[in-house]
Structure 1
Amino acid sequence: MFAPDSLAVAPRYLEVGGEWVASFAITGYPREVQPGWLQPLLTHPARVDVSLHIEPVDPVTAAQRLKRQLARLESGRRHDSDHGRLADPQVEAATEDAYDLSARVARGEGRLFRLGLYLTVHAADRDQLTDETAALRALAASLLMDAQPTTYRTLQGWITCLPFGLDLIRTRRTLDTSALSTAFPFTSPDLPPPSPASTAAPSGVLYGHNLGSQGLVHWDRFALDNHNSVILGRSGAGKSYLVKLELLRSLYRGVEAYVVDPEDEYARLAATVGGTHVGIGAEGVRLNPFDLPLHTRPDGRRTAPKDTLVRRSLFLHTVLSVLLDTPLTPDERAVLDQAITATYQRAGITADPRTWTRPAPLLGDLTTVLRRSKNRTAVDLAARLRPFTSGAYSGLFAGPTTTRPEGHLVIFSLRDLADELKPAGTLLTLDTIWNQISHPTTRRPRLATVDEAWLLMQSPAGAEYLFRMAKAFRKRWAGLTVATQDTGDLLNSDLGKAIVANAATQILLRQAPQAIEDITRTFDLSQGERHFLLTADRGQGLLAAGTHRVAFEAAASPTEHHLITTDPAELAAYAQQTGENDPLLDADDLVTGPAEADSSDEVDLDSG
């Protein structure tokens, strides 16, 4: 059923069904090649089939052949020298290459392979085939390759280029491991490839395909100096789609992930992969900012750093500054510092680590201490905090923390949270994530994603906290992903620019004309890159990592697309076809128990 309707064989071409084909074998190769040197063949505008046939050479046989080849080359050189002839530059270069290759094979740094490279060009008629054949041979010549037609073996050449694994032409060239790795079709010339001598398993995440070639964009954040990433794009550019695609493919690698989800877009993904979904702001879900980050070791003992209480008091200053939506004055900081200490003491928690296991106070307890103070600043702070303790926004702080989620994927949804509380909810969620990452029970790569980071960047205290996380994540084998559509809040502040500077991976999607000037200035874009970001389709973007930049388009399988898409039309059509709604996890099904790690500066809370 896959055979063509007809097949006509001619000495230099074939007529297969309704098209004409001609095949070529590569007989000459350049002396030196770079990664991705075959990309021009794959990006040729005509329809061209490129077939690589690779056969390993036994190490013993390789050593013997290299020895005979060196003997022939040296014999020729000495014969020319004895007869007073000038040295042949090609023979000299071949001799040096043979010595170098023989040494690497002897040391086990590489192996030899027999490579057959064949091309088949397709055309609609004979005249077009003549033009395409000339263009293909010219392209091969520009790459310093000699493409010879398979004259009187056109059928064998066509079959050789089919996905049968049959090499009926058997025009081979011996290559070593490093040279063969550069001929891999999916090697992108725009991004630095992994070392061909490395024996480690491939790592990284497939983002999509290169818009300038047919290669794939495969990137490993954990192989860079830091593991942070920043994704900037206008609304509807495919920002969340790309974040979820990277997140899902990172889970394949065993990476633990935490997500701050402002619009509950990750629920379907969490339900499918068995993740944990926490609805911040939902009824009965609370986060107590006064909780001390205690960690349970595998032997059951609870530990904490010696400065835990001091650090928590300082963090409460940040929380209250975000809640009040204004920077604290020096007088307010002094009053709050005394009130926070008094609040912990009323709960029986002092500088003695043995008291840290007692129930933590609540935000309402702090308000009570402030209200009972005779200081006017304290009374004013208590009045400003009243909506968060007994008013409309008190649900999030009305009691102890209800859960401490953990798992391979944890989604913190902020959709049910009031807009006025989302910056504070994002901050408390990041604090929960930091406590998990800073004291893991097992060492493994982790990712923390802050979607719509502009919610936190609007507050100076929140922006400073996010910047500290970006600086500290690298030492914990973790990466921070900051995604936002409001590039102004990120690039118009010093902290925002510092967060971008501390991200080794920077992804720019389609930009609004109003923001392109800031983007161009910050990332030093060329005119071509600027125009591309203004006209890019959904899912297309620019991956920048140092001096390397590549334009790509995110590509997902149908199953992945269904899990990560947020297109209402697609979701409605799927619900109509299956009769099912999007799966959501219940907040009551959370797994509790924080993750911890041992540390030399921690104290044992269960002993005297």
Structure 2
Amino acid sequence: MTALATLRGVYRRLSRPSGGSGSAEMGIGPPAIEVGPRRLDLGHGACASLTITGYPREVGLGWLEPLLTYPGRLDVALHVEPIPPQVAAARLRRQLARLEAGARADHEHGRLVDFQAEAATEDAHELAARLARGQGRLFRVGVYLTVHASTAEQLEDEVARVRALAAALLIDAKPATFRSLQGWISTLPLGTDLLRVRRTFDTSALSAAFPFTSPDLHTSLGRHTVLYGTNTGSSSLVMWDRFAQDNHNSVILGRSGGGKSYLAKLEILRSAYTGVEVCVIDPENEYQRLADAVGGAHLALGAQGVRLNPFDLPPGAHRTRDALTRRALFIHTLISVLLEEPLDPAARAALDRGIVAAYHTAGLTADPRTWNRQPPLLADLAKALQDDGDPKAGEVAARLAPFVTGTWRGLFDGPTTTRPDSHLIVFSLRDLPDELKTVGTLLTLDAIWRRVADPHNRRPRLVVVDEGWLLLRQAEGAKFLFRMAKAARKYWAGLTVVTQDAGDVLSSDLGRAVVSNSATQILLRQAPQALDQVADAFSLTEGERQLLASARQGQGLLAAGTDRVAFDVVSSPAEHALCETGPEFLADIGETGTPGAGFGGAADLSRPDDVEDPL
């Protein structure tokens, strides 16, 4: 009765029109179905279903890949049902008892050794040991295939090819004779298994059969797995978990227009789905639309009324006894950057007295109970230096005048206006004048590092530095990247450096250190002038070199140790609407309100309805 009800429901869904006035041809399924013993005639073609009844003893990663990449139309369905541990243990005990009883009976009667039964006994013992240690579970798995063709004659040839391919994989594929309708329904995306031809799998075998496993990447997938794209050599998906590697850093290298920032935004968006917090250093204000769409925080340094007070103590500073001392040391570094030269010992001593006096005047002392008061400003430091009486202090105060009362005071003239606290924080540096670029970068890096290194707020984080060559040109920025690349793993964080000047990065010691400390390395299309240097640095084969020389936009190479896989970046229309910032695309949005398709062609430019609401 249940099966008949299910079939009636499927018939209704397949024959229901997609609109109120549409015809049956507009529905999900065919207008009519003719059921035969071994095939179905669907009106526009024919199909036959196969059930997998035999499997090889051992399988490797992506062992279903040849079936998934079959050149014809082949639907592969995987039905998984977990077995409760208590039931699994009882079944294993019974199976072991049968196998051992059979072995003893053969020995008592002098029969030859059954090597197949002996191998099954060893496998059962090993599986029972893994279950007892909690290293795996058992599942009931059914694998079904549905082959499609235009005519019945072509269908016979296609079925023969699929069965031959399955036999080459040591898989037995049997026709679903007199159950062709149930086989077809079982391969539809309905989650319904009407064939119920199951085989017991353990966790490792099931994970190797999972369709999203790429055979080119030999790594485990954790809770922070991100889709990078599709394998260019097959139709499998390239899934990667940076937080499952030795370190969580990555570099994205490619020439201008290759899709570096696009890929970085996709990774940010998809990492946020898994609970990863992201901080972005954005030199060109390309990430604001993404931050606004997902409820992130956007801090545009240099914009009207946006200020960032360097004297602010970090959140939760009362938990750390030396928070005020660390802040004073950072002010020393900041003043040296503002004045564009290191201070002599006398000036440093005067500056130290001025910093302590400024904090004391604001009511902040060594007592952590005072640290919730309003911190001083740069103008308070200048006043404390003027009141010091030391000529060196007065000299430092005079040199700070442009940043206190002059034309560059906008960044420091008041308390912090925005305290970035979100799952996605974007620091935009585009509005900063060139004279304050270095200072603004230093303030941004300090804010990010304090957040990452906070021992009382540990969570997986990514720090994305777009156009990393701009930071590498600055001393403080280069030091931050080097420090972050070395120490990020200890704070459950990963650094992503996105840059187009691969030659400049690889020619400097700090740049090479950042690359060598990145377990994930993504190479997009390279300029001919930098191709030789990139090929030597990453030990590229001739085929990989040619791929990077002629790669399309959004096509690249993911390198992780000895694992290499070429992939195409793919995005949904909603993701593309958030990640694309090309001038033509922005003009298209401004004129028609209809964003176009991503690299993977997920959207149709002729259909505005293909663009979904990103929220």
TMscore range, shorter length: 0.7 to 0.9
**Superposed CA offset, 1:117-141 (max 9, x none):** 2212222344543443333222212
- Say whether residues 1:308 and 2:317 are aligned partners: no
- Say whether residues 1:234 and 2:255 are aligned partners: yes
SS at match of 2:140: strand
Equivalent position of 2:291 in the other structure: 270
Equivalent position of 1:359 in the other structure: 376
SS at match of 1:295: coil
Are the aligned partners of 1:25 and 1:118 in contact in 2 as well (CA < 8 Å)? yes
SS at match of 2:223: coil
Correspondence for 1:345 among 331, 346, 353 = 353
Are the aligned partners of 2:377 and 2:412 in contact in 1 as well (CA < 8 Å)? no
SS at match of 1:132: helix
- Structure 1 residue 535, shift from structure 2 partner: 2.2
**Superposed CA offset, 1:352-378 (max 9, x none):** 983797735469959x99xx9999xx9
**Superposed CA offset, 1:35-68 (max 9, x none):** 3211111011111111223344455554454444
Q: Distance in 2 between matches of 1:490 and 1:287?
A: 30
TM-score (norm 1): 0.80
Please, which runs of 5 or more residues in structure 1 have no aligned partner?
A: 196-200, 581-608
Counterparts of 1:64-83 in structure 2, within 5 Å, are 64-83=90-109
Q: Distance in 2 between matches of 1:15 and 1:348?
A: 86
Are the aligned partners of 1:447 and 1:480 in contact in 2 as well (CA < 8 Å)? yes
Are the aligned partners of 1:237 and 1:539 in contact in 2 as well (CA < 8 Å)? yes
Q: Distance in 1 between matches of 2:49 and 2:522?
A: 41
Distance 1:531 1:314, change over 3 A: farther
- Structure 1 residue 514, shift from structure 2 partner: 1.6
- Say whether residues 1:184 and 2:202 are aligned partners: no
Correspondence for 1:462 among 456, 477, 492 = 477
Q: Which moved more, 1:540-549 or 1:163-172?
A: 163-172
Are the aligned partners of 1:281 and 1:417 in contact in 2 as well (CA < 8 Å)? yes
Equivalent position of 2:228 in the other structure: 207
Q: Which moved more, 1:464-473 or 1:79-88?
A: 79-88
Correspondence for 1:133 among 148, 154, 159 = 159
Counterparts of 1:140-539 in structure 2, within 5 Å, are 140-194=166-220, 202-287=223-308, 291-292=310-311, 294-297=313-316, 304-305=322-323, 307-308=325-326, 311-312=329-330, 315-316=333-334, 319=337, 324=340, 333=342, 335=344, 337-346=345-354, 348-349=356-357, 354=365, 359=376, 361=378, 365=382, 395-396=410-411, 403-419=418-434, 421-439=436-454, 441-539=456-554
Equivalent position of 2:110 in the other structure: 84
- Structure 1 residue 269, shift from structure 2 partner: 1.6
- Structure 1 residue 508, shift from structure 2 partner: 1.5
Equivalent position of 2:568 in the other structure: 553
SS at match of 2:247: coil
Correspondence for 2:121 among 67, 90, 95 = 95
- Say whether residues 1:26 and 2:52 are aligned partners: yes
Are the aligned partners of 1:450 and 1:483 in contact in 2 as well (CA < 8 Å)? yes
Q: Distance in 2 between matches of 1:262 and 1:522?
A: 27
Please, which runs of 5 or more residues in structure 2 have no aligned partner?
A: 1-14, 16-27, 596-615
| Counterpart code for 1:359 | P
SS at match of 1:24: strand
SS at match of 1:354: coil
Are the aligned partners of 1:186 and 1:214 in contact in 2 as well (CA < 8 Å)? no
**Superposed CA offset, 1:440-482 (max 9, x none):** 6522222222111111112345323321222222222222221
Q: Which moved more, 1:418-427 or 1:489-498?
A: 418-427
Distance 1:295 1:535, change over 3 A: same
> Taking every aligned residue pair, what percent have the same amino acid on both sides?
56
Q: Distance in 2 between matches of 1:134 and 1:236?
A: 46
- Structure 1 residue 156, shift from structure 2 partner: 3.7
SS at match of 1:410: strand
Q: Distance in 2 between matches of 1:347 and 1:80?
A: 89
Distance 1:518 1:383, change over 3 A: farther
- Say whether residues 1:38 and 2:49 are aligned partners: no
SS at match of 1:185: coil
Are the aligned partners of 1:347 and 1:359 in contact in 2 as well (CA < 8 Å)? no
Q: Which moved more, 1:171-180 or 1:409-418?
A: 171-180
Q: Distance in 2 between matches of 1:338 and 1:190?
A: 61
Distance 1:475 1:338, change over 3 A: farther
Equivalent position of 1:567 in the other structure: 582
| Counterpart code for 1:315 | T
Q: Which moved more, 1:149-158 or 1:531-540?
A: 149-158
**Superposed CA offset, 1:557-605 (max 9, x none):** 322221221133333333334599xxxxxxxxxxxxxxxxxxxxxxxxx
Distance 1:386 1:457, change over 3 A: farther
- Structure 1 residue 186, shift from structure 2 partner: 1.6
Distance 1:64 1:384, change over 3 A: closer
- Structure 1 residue 149, shift from structure 2 partner: 2.6
Are the aligned partners of 2:130 and 2:136 in contact in 1 as well (CA < 8 Å)? yes
| Counterpart code for 2:577 | H
SS at match of 2:470: helix
SS at match of 2:173: strand
Are the aligned partners of 1:233 and 1:239 in contact in 2 as well (CA < 8 Å)? yes
Q: Distance in 2 between matches of 1:363 and 1:242?
A: 44
TM-score (norm 2): 0.79
| Counterpart code for 2:330 | R
- Structure 1 residue 398, shift from structure 2 partner: 6.4
Q: Distance in 2 between matches of 1:499 and 1:109?
A: 36
Distance 1:96 1:567, change over 3 A: same
**Superposed CA offset, 1:422-452 (max 9, x none):** 3443233212222333336522222222111
Distance 1:303 1:10, change over 3 A: same
Q: Which moved more, 1:519-528 or 1:180-189?
A: 180-189
Q: Distance in 2 between matches of 1:231 and 1:487?
A: 9
Are the aligned partners of 1:294 and 1:302 in contact in 2 as well (CA < 8 Å)? no
| Counterpart code for 1:137 | R
Q: Which moved more, 1:25-34 or 1:547-556?
A: 547-556
What's the RMSD between the two structures over aligned residues? 3.8
Are the aligned partners of 1:457 and 1:489 in contact in 2 as well (CA < 8 Å)? no
- Say whether residues 1:119 and 2:167 are aligned partners: no
**Superposed CA offset, 1:468-517 (max 9, x none):** 22222222222222111111221110110001111222221222222211
Are the aligned partners of 1:504 and 1:545 in contact in 2 as well (CA < 8 Å)? yes
Are the aligned partners of 1:293 and 1:308 in contact in 2 as well (CA < 8 Å)? no
- Structure 1 residue 142, shift from structure 2 partner: 1.8
- Structure 1 residue 267, shift from structure 2 partner: 1.3
Are the aligned partners of 1:10 and 1:152 in contact in 2 as well (CA < 8 Å)? yes
Q: Distance in 1 between matches of 2:557 and 2:134?
A: 39
Distance 1:373 1:452, change over 3 A: farther
Q: Distance in 2 between matches of 1:103 and 1:31?
A: 18
Distance 1:304 1:88, change over 3 A: same
Distance 1:389 1:511, change over 3 A: farther
SS at match of 2:207: helix
- Structure 1 residue 301, shift from structure 2 partner: 8.1
- Structure 1 residue 5, shift from structure 2 partner: 4.1
Q: Distance in 1 between matches of 2:242 and 2:431?
A: 32
